């Protein structure tokens, strides 16, 4: 039987939305308050969904301890309590939640083969969330 | 096609153990969840059904009927129970969130009259949930 397992994790990070390809006026018009040069922060919630056959011996799609330790090591340690604009991952792109969502998807897709990654959903605030399915 | 979701909560205890594993394997794979005295959760169940809207009633499904079916066929069996010892499906199957979602699907799938079961979602905690769509 195929089931879909979803797990949620929280991390806190700051960012500033700004593009060097735009003029100051364009940046302000495009990004509004998010263009504040000092940045601002969010408690991000990342919700991962993996799918697979439920293992008859364990009753699991994948071992949660394995998933948790992978995410802790490869996602949370990388982004938690960081200023996203200072990270290598965002040297060439604006750290919008869209781009962060895609980055997290790629990290998990490349590094966690034990279950099929269905989607990554990233909640920036209670009102905004983004999903990427690859 | 319209999708309707009804939620319910139930509180239950369980533990994870495979009698075919050695004690060391059980501890390594299941960790603290292997405690034979069990531990508990407040589970949240979401039952999602789908169907066309009946032009006379405006309903996809009679919610009174759905609530009654959920209560009779799921909650009475699982609420305030030790799943491993009191629910037939879990005498020989580990009551992981995955298996709970599948068992609830199997209990409900043939019980609905006007709508079709689309998805069972079971939250073990607010940060961990499983969806089952009836896929083999």
Spans of all domains in chain A: 2-132
Q: Which chain B residues touch A3 with a CB distance below 8 Å?
A: 98, 101-102, 130-132
B9: number of CA atoms within 13 Å, CB side?
Answer: 5
Q: Does A9 sit within 8 Å of B127, measured CB to CB?
A: yes
Q: Calculate how close chain A gets to B54, using CA atoms only, in Å.
A: 31
Give the count of beta carbons closer than 10 Å to the beta carbon of residue A25: 8
Q: Tell me the per-residue pLDDT of A49-83, one tens digit each, with 9 for 90 and over.
A: 999 999 999 999 999 999 999 999 999 999 999 99
B113 included as an active-site residue: no
Q: Is A46 within 8 Å of A124 (Cβ atoms)?
A: no
Interface contact A8-B128, CB threshold 8 A: yes
Task: Give residues 2 to 21 of B whose Cβ lies within 8 Å of A.
Answer: 16, 18, 20-21
Q: What is the helix (H) or strand (E) element at residue A118, kind and residue range?
A: strand A116-123
Convert chain B into a string of H (helix), E (strand) and C (coil). CEEEEEEEEEEEEECCCCCCCCHHHHHHHHHHHHCCCCEEEEEEEEEEEEECCCCCCCCCCCHHHHHHHHHHHHHHHHCCEEHHHHCHHHCCCCCCHHHHHHHHHHHHCCCCCCCEEEEEEEEEECCEEEEECCCC
Give B11-31 pLDDT, tens digit per residue. 999 999 999 999 999 999 999
Express each pLDDT in A83-118 by its tens digit: 999 999 999 999 999 999 999 999 999 999 999 999
Enumerate residues 71 to 110 of chain B having a beta carbon within 8 A of any beta carbon in chain A: 93-99, 101-102
Q: Who among A7, A60, A65 is closest to B31 (CB)?
A: A65
Q: What is the DSSP letter of A5?
A: E
Nearest CA to B51 out of B36, B40, B66 is that of B66
Enter the DSSP assignment of A35: G
In degrees and rounded to multiples of 5, residue A54 shows phi and psi of -75, 120
Class of domain A2-132 as given by CATH: alpha beta
Closest by alpha carbon to A67, among A81, A87, A47? Answer: A47
Strand A116-123, strand B2-14: pairing: unpaired
Residues of B in contact with A6 (CB under 8 A): 128-131
Interface size A-B, in CB pairs within 8 Å, comes to 60
Name the residue of chain B whose CA is nearest to A57's CA: B18
Interface check B118 vs A, CB under 8 A = no
Task: Place B114 in a pLDDT band, splitting at 50, 70 and 90.
Answer: confident
Report CB contact under 8 Å: A6, B128. Answer: yes
Output the CA angle A134-B4-B9, nearest 5 degrees: 95
Cα A81 to Cα A70, A84, A103, B75, B128: the distances in Å are 18, 9, 17, 42, 23
Is residue A47 part of the annotated active site? The answer reads no
pTM summary value = 0.92
Residue written as token pair 């979803």: A6
| Closest residue of chain A to B26, computed from CA coordinates | A58
> Residue A56 and residue B28: Cα distance in Å, rounded?
17
Q: How far apart are CA B99 and CA B124, in angstroms?
A: 12
Yes or no, beta carbons of B96 and A59 under 8 Å apart? yes
Q: How high is the pLDDT of residue B113?
A: 82
Q: Residues of A at the B interface (Cβ-Cβ below 8 Å)? A: 1-9, 49, 54, 57-61, 63-65
Q: Confidence band (pLDDT; 50, 70, 90) for B99? A: very high
Q: What is B2-132's CATH number?
A: 3.30.479.10
pLDDT band of residue B136 (cuts 50, 70, 90) is very high
Is B33 considered catalytic here?
yes
Residue B32 has pLDDT above 90, yes or no: yes
Instruction: Provide ipTM, 2 decimals.
Output: 0.90
Cα(A119)–Cα(A32) distance, rounded to whole angstroms? Answer: 29
pLDDT in the model for residue A18: 95
The average confidence (pLDDT) of chain B is 96
């Amino acid at each position: 039987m195929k089931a879909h397992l979803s797990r949620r994790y929280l991390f806190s990070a700051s960012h500033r939305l700004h593009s060097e390809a735009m003029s100051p006026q364009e940046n302000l018009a495009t990004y509004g308050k998010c263009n504040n040069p000092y940045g601002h922060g969010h408690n991000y919630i990342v919700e991962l969904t993996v799918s697979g056959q439920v293992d008859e011996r364990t009753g699991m799609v994948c071992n949660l301890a394995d998933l948790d330790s992978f995410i802790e090591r490869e996602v949370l340690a990388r982004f938690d309590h960081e200023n996203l604009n200072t990270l290598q991952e965002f040297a060439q792109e604006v750290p919008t939640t869209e781009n962060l969502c895609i980055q997290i998807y790629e990290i998990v897709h490349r590094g966690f083969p034990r279950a099929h990654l269905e989607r990554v959903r990233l909640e920036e605030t209670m009102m905004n969330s983004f999903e990427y399915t690859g | 096609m319209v999708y309707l979701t009804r939620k319910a909560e139930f509180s239950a205890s369980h533990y994870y153990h495979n009698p075919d594993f050695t004690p060391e394997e059980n501890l390594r794979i299941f960790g603290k969840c292997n405690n034979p005295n069990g531990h508990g959760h407040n589970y949240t169940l979401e039952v999602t059904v789908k169907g066309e809207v009946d032009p006379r009633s405006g309903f996809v499904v009679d919610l009174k009927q759905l609530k009654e079916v959920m209560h009779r066929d799921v909650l009475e069996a699982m609420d305030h129970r030790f799943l491993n010892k009191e629910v037939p499906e879990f005498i020989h199957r580990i009551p992981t969130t995955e298996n709970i979602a599948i068992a609830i699907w199997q209990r409900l799938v043939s019980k609905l009259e006007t709508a079709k079961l689309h998805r069972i979602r079971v939250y073990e905690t607010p940060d961990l949930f499983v969806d089952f769509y009836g896929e083999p």
